[in-house]
Amino acid sequence: MALLGFLSKEKKEDLNKGLEKTKESVFRKLSRAVVGKSRVDEDVLDNLEEILI
């Protein structure tokens, strides 16, 4: 049995769309936090922590 076998096809599609949006958002925020940074200082780590929590 599939992990999400109890969900209807429509619910699975809705879940997958939501998870994809979440993934894109998290990676976009992570990218913004580190792009252009030559060093990982305390501010960068604080930003990463905020994003991941």
The owner of tokens 């913004």 is 32
What is the pTM assigned to this prediction?
0.68
pLDDT > 90? residue 30: yes
pLDDT > 50? residue 1: no
Q: Give the residue ranges of DSSP H helices in 1-53.
A: 9-34, 42-52
Comparison of pLDDT for 46 and 2, the residue scoring more: 46
Q: At what angle do helices 42-52 and 9-34 cross, to 10 degrees?
A: 170
